[in-house]
Amino acid sequence: MNILGIETSCDETAAAVVTDGVRVRSNVVASSLKEHAPFGGIIPEIASRRQIEWIHGVVAQALAQAHMSLKDIDAVAVTVKPGLIGSLLVGVSFAKGLAYATKKPLVEVDHIQAHWYANFLRLAFEHKPLPVLPAVGLVVSGGHTSLFDIKDFHRVKCLGKTRDDAAGEAFDKVARLLNLGYPGGPAIDRLAQTGVNDQIRFPRSGLEGSYDFSFSGLKTAVLYYTRKHKDFRVEQVVYAFQESVVRVLTDKAIEACRRKKVKTLLVGGGVAANSALRRYLMEASESRGIQVHFPPMAFCLDDAAMIAGLGYHLM
């Protein structure tokens, strides 16, 4: 079964074709990120205008790369939440029109759920085994930080989420504070690899007795530190900041696996590409017999393949 996925929740305009929820036939992403960079964040008006301009061409390109036409598509899956309202309207309106015109089923997909599902996607040359459910899902992105109890594709419960800033949002704001540019996550990850230190320690908001997260206090601690210590070294500050974030994420995810008595951890979202988070989670999971899964880098960021893949199971 071939599913056409459409994703327009933020600044990306994406379309993909996925067969049987696993095999990625095409995955096309057009991003307006460079236009947002001067502002230090996403400008909703710019994002939605570019998506209106690009969506037809992106969908056509995804079909061409998959060597398929609309006649070969069995259903259309589209992101319906969460996201920027203007951007979501572009994708949903296009998908509804396409489904109506071709008499194909329309499948509505939650963007956040699709991030952990990205671990089930495989490219044409990949043959590694699929993750085993039940599992705990950790989704970490610019707008969301959440933990899920995943029984199967239809029974998913949110265990906890951020009470303020998402982890990726904290990365972007700290990067802006330190003049590292936008997006901040990759810049901090690269710079932190040169800044190992034992001098700076930022607070970790554990929120004991809860699976929720909080990163606004950490962001504020970085601000106060840089104001007080005018001679600070940027690489040491970002190393300490990143370590605080990834340790909280790791501790919560591993504890959820222990409490739920599952041996599979599915990680997704843009921050899943962070090298420190990958290292900490792999080290912590290995000693506890937990199999941790990360999507390929192309499927960590917003894309339509994960929408098409999960949409297959939700039909």
- Model confidence over 243-296: pLDDT tens digits? 999 999 999 999 999 999 999 999 999 999 999 999 999 999 998 999 999 998
User: Residue 128 pLDDT > 80, yes or no?
Assistant: yes
Structure tokens at 31: 């991003």
User: Residue 132 pLDDT > 90, yes or no?
Assistant: yes
111 and 85 within one domain: yes
Question: What's the whole-number average pLDDT of the chain?
Answer: 94
Band of pLDDT at residue 40, cut at 50, 70 and 90: confident
83 and 30 within one domain: yes
Band of pLDDT at residue 218, cut at 50, 70 and 90: very high
305 and 172 within one domain: no
What are the CA-CA distances from residue 238 to residues 22, 51, 165 (Å)?
37, 34, 17
58-102: per-residue pLDDT in tens? 999 999 999 999 999 999 999 999 999 999 999 999 999 999 999
| Backbone angles phi and psi of 124, in degrees to 5 | -60, -35
CB 74 within 8 A of CB 106: no
230 and 272 within one domain: yes
304 and 280 within one domain: no
Q: Which residues pair with 43 in a beta bridge?
A: none
pLDDT at 296: 87
235 and 109 within one domain: no
pLDDT at 44: 92
307 and 225 within one domain: no
CB 39 within 8 A of CB 9: no
Range of 252's domain? Answer: 135-294
Residue 128 lies in a domain: no
Residue 92 lies in a domain: yes
149 and 264 within one domain: yes
164-211: per-residue pLDDT in tens? 989 999 999 999 999 998 889 999 999 998 877 778 889 887 788 899
Residue 130 lies in a domain: no
Distance CA 66, CA 278 (A): 31
pLDDT at 95: 98
User: Residue 55 pLDDT > 80, yes or no?
Assistant: yes
CB proximity list for 117: less than 8 A, separation 6 or greater? 153, 266, 268, 306, 309, 310
Residue 81 lies in a domain: yes
Contacts 24+ apart (CB under 8 A), 284-291: 284/250, 284/254, 285/254, 285/257, 288/254, 288/257, 288/258, 289/263, 290/254, 290/257, 290/262, 290/263, 290/264, 290/265, 291/131, 291/132, 291/263, 291/264, 291/265
Question: What angle separates helix 184-192 from helix 167-177, to the nearest 10 degrees?
Answer: 70
User: Residue 297 pLDDT > 90, yes or no?
Assistant: no
Residue 214 lies in a domain: yes
141-161: per-residue pLDDT in tens? 988 999 999 999 999 999 999
Number of independent structural domains in the chain: 2
pLDDT at 195: 74
CATH number, position 34: 3.30.420.40
118 and 192 within one domain: no
Residue 67 lies in a domain: yes
Residue 129 lies in a domain: no
pLDDT at 19: 97
238 and 186 within one domain: yes
Band of pLDDT at residue 127, cut at 50, 70 and 90: confident
Could you tell me the pTM of the whole model?
Answer: 0.93
38 and 16 within one domain: yes
pLDDT at 142: 83
Q: DSSP E strands: which ranges in 2-144? A: 2-7, 12-19, 23-31, 75-81, 106-110, 135-140
69 and 194 within one domain: no
pLDDT at 313: 97
pLDDT at 182: 87
Average pLDDT over residues 124-145: 91
Residue 66 lies in a domain: yes
